Amino acid sequence: MPEKIEKSEEEWKQILSRDKFLVLRKKGTEPAFTGKYHNHKEKGTYLCGACGQELFSSDDKFDSGTGWPSFSKPISEDRVVRQEDNSYFMKRTEVLCSRCGSHLGHVFDDGPKPTGERFCMNSISLDFKKED
């Protein structure tokens, strides 16, 4: 398990842009098709937008048509934490960064084989590192 990063919400507020803070720390959702990665096809690694932990590989990215960047799996299961989310009268599974606890998005069970999972992420919760 990666070493945890713990900061107060006040500290995060200083570090993150307002829009990033609202999604990563306040569990907001960016409007579909507005983020920078839903249609992004470069080879590389997607990082946590708050702490920089490597989360997803472009190899596992697929076009879900939802308007949010979607992945069939994280780089390894220990990079994320799954948590039950019953907000907005829905039963969903929230996905958090395992290192800093920031909100990334949700995971659904309608993804492609073999995992059958769709990690539906907010672009703004991610940063991208291009493969050299």
The residues annotated as belonging to the active site are 120
The yes or no reply on residue 23 touching Fe ion (CB under 5 A) is no
Give the span between the Cα atoms of 86 and 66, in whole angstroms: 21
The yes or no reply on residue 97 touching Fe ion (CB under 5 A) is yes
Sheet holding 92-97, edge to edge: 61-62, 70-71, 118-121, 103-108, 92-97, 80-85
Pull the structure tokens for residue 113. Answer: 């084989």
CA distances from 83 to 92, 94, 102 (A): 9, 5, 12
The yes or no reply on residue 107 touching Fe ion (CB under 5 A) is no
The yes or no reply on residue 99 touching Fe ion (CB under 5 A) is yes
Q: Give me the 35-74 binding string for Fe ion, x by CB under 5 A, dash otherwise.
A: -------------x-xx-x---------------------
User: Segment near Fe ion (CB under 5 A), from 29-37, 74-82, 93-101, 121-129?
Assistant: 93-101
